[in-house]
Structure 1
Amino acid sequence: MVFPTGSLVNLIAIVLGSCAGMLLGNRLPERVRYIVFCGLGLATLVIGMQMALKTQNPLILVFSILLGGITGELLQIERGLNSLGERLKKRLKSNNLRFVDGFVSATLLFVIGSMAILGPFDEALRGDRTLLYTKSILDCFASVPLAASFGSGVLFSAVPVFLYQGALTLFAGVLQPMLTPAMMNEIIATGGLMILGIALGLLDVKRIPLSNLLPSLVYAGVLSYFFM
């Protein structure tokens, strides 16, 4: 098995960016934080659209989101993630009212993208960490304005990101034969649609319980296997 070095670097990058954001947070005027946050939301919107348009079968995208949302609601994934954030907040005795929002939003933003899926596979199967290193740089810069607005919850999102990507690296050899290029396209497209939801939240347009949509990624792979 390959040690998930790239994911460890990603963890460190998020921590460094979050620390910088928390240091800058109180020093930046509210109007500056607002415009930076809007810029991040718009950039996230474009990234999500590019990913979502990769789909070759919109019906798979639609049914993946519907089935994933139903499954997530039944499993109450959003409540579980929020509960984890609340426990972290209590353990740290934090007075930050946006701790949980920052933890959940940052975790979803950092784990849903295509690089979070493809990067660990490249590291495990080809020994190439380029994607994960690139993602680390992007996540570092993204975590600065997030932490400036949400606070320390963004910093602790580094832990589930490392566990998720690290697990993909460790089990890539088992998963790789099952994932065809068509399946990966639909998984990435479904993730892109979820990233659009993150952008809507960052722009204060609509808050969507995106954690409950995470099973959609699994459905996207399964449906594309049978219908493409």
Structure 2
Amino acid sequence: MFPGIGTALNISTIIIGSLIGILVGKKLNEKLRNLITDVLGCITVISAADALTAYWDPSLTKSLPNGGAILVVIFSLLAGALIGSWLKIEDALENLGKKLKTRFSPQGGSNFVEGFVSASLIFAIGPLAILGSISDGMGTGIDQLVLKSTLDGFTSIAFAASLGWGVALSCLPVGIYQFFWTAIGLFLGAILAPYQIAAMTTVGGVLLIGISLRLLRIREIAVANLLPALAIAPLLALLAKQFI
């Protein structure tokens, strides 16, 4: 096997699942498609809860002083919000979605952009995307990405049935994102300690909550602008461990 095969598999399952979902979606009425989206929002809450359990991971709680973990999460999100808003990541991602809509689905509805943005964030944010890609790059196996590919395949069926072609094209940013982490694993090896991974995973859980609120149409949170927090969290965790 070659480095990156796990991400290649992941991209394939997203595309195949989306095609199946689009074919099925044509037979579903709008009310049922909205219900499917609501179900996905609820499932995303479960995914968020699972990621948030990392907040109580012994590697994190024992490495940082009392109250250090919550401070790392808060300041990671605040710094991430500042950087992401300055870079206008959410706007850039939405504009990319609009350009892809014009190119691939000029007659598509507004769901195209929502499908592209939501699917891109959901498929990329999960800790399996980072940990699995690093493991793939280091040559220690693709088990995590095989699991992620299976989950993403079924999720893309449901998403595409409700939100259309934008879900299939989410494989582009997902592929770029995961190949980036694969390269880190390939050239830099294991760069994060377990407590840093736990901090990153916890922040990812918070971002997943934001996605679930969007899917459930409760509140439109600019989750993409918070993505820098994922990179900031392990750095702040390291500083907290060393100097607090």
The TM tier, using the shorter chain, reads over 0.9
Question: Match for residue 183 of structure 2?
Answer: 170
Question: Match for residue 153 of structure 1?
Answer: 166
Question: Match for residue 20 of structure 2?
Answer: 20
CA RMSD of aligned residues (A): 1.6
Equivalent-residue separation in structure 1 for 2:75 and 2:184 (angstroms): 27
Is residue 2:199 matched to residue 1:218? Answer: no
State the secondary structure of the residue aligned to 1:178: coil
Question: Match for residue 51 of structure 1?
Answer: 51
Task: Work out whether residues 6 and 136 of structure 2, in 8 Å CA contact, stay in contact via their aligned partners in 1.
Answer: yes
The TM-score normalised by the length of structure 1 is: 0.95
Aligned residue identity for 2:224: S
Question: Match for residue 37 of structure 2?
Answer: 37
Alignment of 1:76-225 (within 5 A): 76-96=88-108, 97-225=110-238
Unaligned runs of 5+ in 2: 56-60, 62-68
Task: Work out whether residues 111 and 161 of structure 1, in 8 Å CA contact, stay in contact via their aligned partners in 2.
Answer: yes
The TM-score normalised by the length of structure 2 is: 0.89
Give the percent of matched residue pairs that are identical in Structure 1 and Structure 2: 36
Equivalent-residue separation in structure 2 for 1:27 and 1:93 (angstroms): 19
Aligned residue identity for 2:238: Y
Give per-residue Cα distances to partners, 1:36-62, cap 9 Å, x unaligned: 222221111011022123124111111
Task: Work out whether residues 2 and 170 of structure 1, in 8 Å CA contact, stay in contact via their aligned partners in 2.
Answer: no
Aligned residue identity for 2:192: L
Cα offset, 1:173, TM superposition: 3.9
Q: Which deviates more from structure 2 when the two are superposed, residues 156-165 or residues 125-134?
A: 125-134
State the secondary structure of the residue aligned to 1:54: helix
Equivalent-residue separation in structure 1 for 2:72 and 2:186 (angstroms): 26
Give per-residue Cα distances to partners, 1:4-63, cap 9 Å, x unaligned: 001001001000111111111120133332332222211110110221231241111111
Task: Work out whether residues 126 and 204 of structure 2, in 8 Å CA contact, stay in contact via their aligned partners in 1.
Answer: yes
Give per-residue Cα distances to partners, 1:157-196, cap 9 Å, x unaligned: 0111111111211221444443111100000110111011
Unaligned runs of 5+ in 1: none
Give per-residue Cα distances to partners, 1:126-162, cap 9 Å, x unaligned: 4311110110010011111211111100100011111
Task: Work out whether residues 105 and 165 of structure 2, in 8 Å CA contact, stay in contact via their aligned partners in 1.
Answer: no
Task: Work out whether residues 114 and 191 of structure 1, in 8 Å CA contact, stay in contact via their aligned partners in 2.
Answer: yes
Change (3 A) 1:108 1:115: same
Equivalent-residue separation in structure 2 for 1:146 and 1:107 (angstroms): 11
Equivalent-residue separation in structure 2 for 1:86 and 1:206 (angstroms): 21
Aligned residue identity for 1:41: G
State the secondary structure of the residue aligned to 2:174: helix
